[in-house]
Every structure is written in C-alpha cells, then in structure tokens.
A and B are shown apart, each in its own frame.
With several copies, the nearest count.
Chain A
Amino acid sequence: MRFQLTEDQRALRTGVRELLTARFGRERLRAAMADAPALDRDLWRELGDAGFFALRLPEAAGGVGLGLPEAVLAFEEAGRVLLPGPLIATQLAAGTVPGAATGETVVTDVDTGGTVEWLAAADVVRGDAEGAVSVRSVDPLTPLHRVPVQDSGAAVDVPLKSLLTAAEQLGTGARVVELAVEHARTREQFGRPIGAFQAVQQLCAGMLVRVEVARAVVYAAAVTGDPADIAAARLLADEAAVHGARDCLQVHGGMGFTWESDVHLYLKRAWVRARRPGSVTECEELLAAGLLAEAG
C-alpha cells in the first residue's frame, strides 16, 4: 500500500494546475460570466490538446491512457478554478463521440432528465432533451435547462459521474479554505488579523478537516471504484464544498457578500454540482444497505 500520489500523478496535477492558472485566471473567470451560455471554445480545444478529455482513453485509441485516479486529480483542479462547461460528459464521451477527445465537440448528457447543464452550448446532446426549458440558473457560470423526467431514460455512468463530481467538489472545497485563510490572515478588525480570533480559527480548521477527510475517500474511490466508496466520496465532497463555501463566505463577512467577490461563485457551483444524479438520499441508502451486506 502506497496511498500517496506517485511522481507521475504529482506531475500531472502540477501540469493541469499550471495550464488552468495560465488559461483560466481570475479575469477569465469573470469574463466567462459575461459570455455564458457560450463556452470559450479556444480554451476547450486547448484542454483537448493537453489531453484533459482523452485522459482515460487508451493510447491505442489516441488517448492518454491514464486511469480514474488521474481523472480525479484533473477534475479536482477544474473544481479549484471553477472551470465551466460540461467537462464530465465530454470526457466520458471521448472515444465514443467524434471530436470529444480533442475538445472539438462539446457533449452534454440528459441522463434521466431533470436538470441539464450547458444544453445550448453543446454540440452533441446524449439523451432525449425534448421539452427542454431554459432556467434562470443560480450559478452565473452554469446555464441550466429543465427537461421532463424520463423514468425510462438511460442514466449513463452515474457512479463515474458522481465520482468526478466529487473530485470537482473536492477542488472547490480545497480552494475555499485557501481563500478563507488568505482573507483571515490579511483582514484586520479590532486591531489584529481576524484569523487570530479563535472563532474564525475554528471555522477555518473545520473547513480543512472536511476537505482532508473528503480527499482521502475521493482518492480511494478512484483507486477502488467501489460503489460504496464512491457514495461516501460524493457525500463528503459535497459537504466539503457546500459547507466550506458557506463558511468561507462567513469568514469574508460583508466583503464576501458582494457580486465582485468570487466566494459566492464557489458556493453556487457547489450547489449546482450537489444536485447532479446520485442524491444524498441515494448515497445514504446505498451505504446503509452496504452495512447489512458487509455485516452479513
């Protein structure tokens, strides 16, 4: 057992982070808010060139030939910077939908209906989007449509999507700890940085704990692919992101309540992701049933 990142995995993470920092910094983030529901196609192709979408495609099929752990690391980085677009559906379509692997083709999935992300921007829509109605999305960076629920519809790769969603949530959770700590170290009230107050320290420490606990099980789920590990990863990563962004806002006080602050963007995205297929109820029930099965 060597449950830490390998050298290659570290290098991958660094590479993705550097790419995203260079190509999707704060200004691009704010600009993307104005552009939505359009996508930055140049960025999308650049991601394709870097192998983001073909990450798990076999080398024989022109892919990078890596596995789920590497995909999780890449999606964690995407979650850190709030990278917009139907990233998960497109990566899953690589090798099946022409152009998805290279970032030429943007793919979104309808699954069983309900909410569909980036319907208007997608080149290929998998599933039946008939009757789709545009929704005024709470997240300015994720256009949403409402599609009638299709009980008979095929939900594609729900556990996999749930795991990659957890990875994005993990990245968001980790990033909001940094934002909170940065603010707490510099913002002064009552003659000292607010991070010197235990009440603020406790908020920040609690955020970190949620992230590190989630990280362990998200990575483990990527290694094992075990449905119960994935359900646990999803539950804890959702919590790390949603609760973390919420606490980050609290640490920022009034400063975080403005549109100009980025904190709300993390919270809103975390809300959107938390509602993707694989609900809290489903995860908890699966984990409960698992207890009986394991304990026999």
Chain B
Amino acid sequence: MDLTDTPQEAEFRARLREWLAKALPSLPDRPSPDDWPGRRAYDLGWQRTLYDAGYGEVHWGAEPAVRMIFLEETEKAGAPYVGANFVGLLHAGPTIAAEGTEEQKARWLPPVLRGEEVWCQGFSEPDAGSDLAALRTRARRDGDDYVVSGSKIWTSHAEVADWCELLVRTDPDAPKHRGITWLAMPMDAPGITVRPLRTLAGSNEFAEVFLDEVRVPVANRVGAENDGWRVTMVTLSFERGTAFVGEVVACRRVLGELALAARENGRWDDPVLRRRLGRLNAEFRALWRLTQWNVSDSVPGVGGSVFKLRYSHARQELYEAAAEVLGDPAALDLEQPWVLDRLSSLSYTIAAGTSQIQHNIVAERVLGLPKGR
C-alpha cells in the first residue's frame, strides 16, 4: 500500500503544476452559464490548449493514477472543467475507440481530442430513466439510412453539440436489452428539435431532444445492429475509477471554506455544527482514500456503486451543512455561495442510477444476493 507518487507520477505532477501555473492566468474569462456558444468556445479552447500541451489524451491513454493526478491538480489549480467535452472525451469517444471501425475512429476521435467537435448523449427518455433499457425511440432501416423518431431527455449541451451518441430501438420484438443500436447522429440533421429543460435550480443545463424522422446513415452505427446495449456497457464503466476525483477535491475545498465562513460569522462556536463539519471531514477524507483505492484497483467496476452511494449522500450532507453555516436568511438567498449548489446536489441520489438502484446493484452484483424486486 503506497500513497506516494512513483518517480514518473511525481514528474508528471510537477510538470503539470508548472504548466498550469503558466497556462491558467492567460485563459479568457469564463462565459456566463446561459451563453451556450460562449461555453462551447471556451470548453473547446481549453481542450485545444491541453492538446497542444500534450495533455489532450489524458482521459484515455494515461494510466489511471496519472489521470487522477491530472484531475486532482487541475481542480486544485482552479482550471476549467471538461465541460462540453464530457461526452466526447469520456463517453462517446471511448466507445468509438473500443468498438468503432478504423474509419469511424479516424473520423470522430481526432476532432474530439483537438477540441473541434462537441458530443452530447441521447440515452434517457421520459419513460426510460432508471430502466434505461426500456427506451422506445425507434429506428427503422430505409436504404443506407436509419430513420429515427422519438425523444430523449436530460441531454447536456444539446444546443451546441455537433454529434449525439444515440441509443435507438431497432428490434421492438426482441427482449429489451437485445433490440438496441448505438448511432452517431449529426445534430444538424433535419427533424431534430432541441428544447431547453429548466431544472428546479432554475438553470437550463439540460435539454429535451425530439426526433421526427431523422435520417442517420447506417455508416454511423458503432457495433452491430441490436448490439447497442453491450456496446454501451463497455464504456459505462470506463471512467468509473476516476470519474469523481475532481468533485471530491472540490468538496474538500468547499468544506474548508465552510469552516472559515463559520469561524467568520460565529457559528463555529456551536459544537453541534462544528462537530458536524468535523464528521464531514472524516467523510470526504475517506471518499478521497476510496478514490485512490479504486484507481489503484486492477479490476475496476466493483467500487463504483459503493463509491457513488456514499459520495452522493455525503455531497448532499455537505450542502445541508452549508445551509446551517450560512444561517438566516443567507441559506435562502440564491445569490449566496452554495445555495444553488444545494439545489443542484438534490440530483446526486437520482442521476445515473438512483440510490435505490445502486443498493440493488451492490446487493446483487457485489454481495451475490438473489435477484430482488
């Protein structure tokens, strides 16, 4: 059990720190959250900067421990997030890399790495949330095209994406996991309507995507027809080990800020609140160690659900504690720090598999309990 960097890791970290110190001050200002074209340009620009500096492929090619250092150091330095490049770099890209033809890889991967094209994800549907495989968006073959109709929901960056990794049902008569196909859909195809979806936090982070007889070339299919579920599962676990590195680092920073704010406004003198913050320190220390443990594990996957269950709960607790630190009326003021984060955090126990489903996954797949209902 070794928690120190290897010489190579230490060198990578040192080089990265040095580079970040130089690169970050010259970054343009962050666009406002509502400025989608601005966000696209900003995020693509950052990816291009990374690419030029030799970090373009860090999410794919690098060892998990190196990827972890990258995520840790960029977060600590306050560098931009992966943002609009999330699906391209961490989901559609790896899928294409693993399952695509040489031609497909050549077409789609370089623009992602060079920060030229943005991908979005068309998986969830209004009636297929936790039960993703129940998706109903239909695709019928017509010559060299699939003709796609249906709707998708919870799609980030749909407004500015060039491509959508799309799951469609190509065989309605097959068992639900066996009639699904993975397609790369150009977002400028006729028949696509993107409608912003306002969340309870008041933001338009997500969109609904309506598909009316959209033609997608058969050549854009990755993997075999009706094999899309397997194709997708290959990559769903791809980034599990390091997916939350940046977020855990961020939570620990927030926790420190909460302590300072509480000292500032006098609430630190309340032992109940103070001890609660101390307990959260234990929590996020442990989650950081668990991340390191999972990253070091040669068999990734098992740790993912365990981590997600605890982390999503802990992060909600963090913002509950933030409300106590803020007090009255700051805790109810959307202009105050952490208040919007508190609202956003409500999704953590829901998105990407509710905590209820995660418990089932742990019980059945990790503990080997009989399949429940």
Could you list which residues of chain A lie within 8 angstroms of chain B, going by C-beta atoms? 1-6, 9, 69, 114-115, 135-139, 144, 146, 177, 181, 184-185, 188-190, 192-193, 195-206, 208-209, 212-217, 219-220, 222-224, 228-229, 231-233, 235-236, 246, 249-250, 253-261, 263-264, 267, 271-272, 275, 281, 283-292, 294-296
CB nearest to B256 among chain A residues: A295
Contacts A219-B293, A253-B130 given; does A213 touch B286 at CB 8 Å: yes
Could you list which residues of chain B lie within 8 angstroms of chain A, going by C-beta atoms? 1-6, 9, 65, 68, 124, 126-127, 129-131, 134, 153-154, 197-200, 202, 253, 255-260, 263, 268, 270, 272, 274-275, 277-279, 281-283, 285-287, 289-290, 292-293, 295-298, 303, 306, 309-310, 323, 328-335, 339, 343, 346-347, 349-351, 354-356, 358-360, 362-364, 366-373
For B278, list chain A residues within 8 Å (CB): 283-291
Contact of A1 among B65, B131, B306, B346 (CB under 8 A): B65
Contact of B370 among A192, A257, A291 (CB under 8 A): A192
A33 CB → nearest B CB, Å: 11
Q: Once the chains bind, are A208 and B362 in contact (CB under 8 Å)?
A: yes
Q: Once the chains bind, are B130 and A209 in contact (CB under 8 Å)?
A: no
Q: Once the chains bind, are B2 and A137 in contact (CB under 8 Å)?
A: no
Q: Once the chains bind, are A201 and B363 in contact (CB under 8 Å)?
A: yes
For B202, list chain A residues within 8 Å (CB): 259
Docked Cα-Cα span, A249 to B3, in Å, equals 36
A-B contact pairs, 26 of them (CB 8 A): A114-B328, A135-B329, A135-B333, A190-B130, A192-B370, A198-B360, A198-B373, A199-B356, A205-B309, A209-B309, A214-B286, A228-B281, A232-B281, A232-B283, A235-B282, A257-B347, A271-B323, A285-B274, A287-B281, A288-B281, A289-B278, A290-B278, A290-B281, A291-B255, A291-B256, A295-B253
Q: Once the chains bind, are A209 and B368 in contact (CB under 8 Å)?
A: no
For B359, list chain A residues within 8 Å (CB): 198-199, 201-202, 205-206
B299 CB → nearest A CB, Å: 10
New A-B contacts (17) at CB < 8 Å, excluding given A231-B282, A272-B332, A275-B329:
A2-B6, A69-B1, A136-B335, A185-B370, A189-B129, A189-B134, A195-B369, A197-B373, A204-B369, A205-B362, A208-B362, A216-B293, A258-B197, A271-B332, A291-B256, A295-B260, A296-B260
Docked Cα-Cα span, A291 to B330, in Å, equals 22
Q: Once the chains bind, are B350 and A216 in contact (CB under 8 Å)?
A: no
For B356, list chain A residues within 8 Å (CB): 197-200, 202-203, 250
Contacts A144-B333, A281-B270, A288-B277 given; does A232 touch B198 at CB 8 Å: no
CB nearest to A184 among chain B residues: B369
Docked Cα-Cα span, A197 to B359, in Å, equals 12
Q: Once the chains bind, are B332 and A275 in contact (CB under 8 Å)?
A: yes
Docked Cα-Cα span, A168 to B258, in Å, equals 31
For B355, list chain A residues within 8 Å (CB): 250
Q: Once the chains bind, are B350 and A285 in contact (CB under 8 Å)?
A: no
Docked Cα-Cα span, A224 to B1, in Å, equals 10
Contacts A228-B281, A254-B153, A295-B257 given; does A288 touch B275 at CB 8 Å: yes
A204 CB → nearest B CB, Å: 6
Q: Once the chains bind, are B259 and A288 in contact (CB under 8 Å)?
A: yes
Contact of A213 among B290, B331, B347 (CB under 8 A): B290
For A3, list chain B residues within 8 Å (CB): 1-3, 289, 292-293, 295-296
CB nearest to A219 among chain B residues: B1
For A296, list chain B residues within 8 Å (CB): 260
Q: Once the chains bind, are A4 and B367 in contact (CB under 8 Å)?
A: no
Docked Cα-Cα span, A181 to B364, in Å, equals 10
Contacts A202-B363, A217-B285 given; does A259 touch B256 at CB 8 Å: no
Top 9 closest pairs, chain A to chain B, by CB: A295-B256, A288-B278, A201-B363, A264-B200, A115-B329, A232-B282, A284-B278, A287-B278, A259-B198
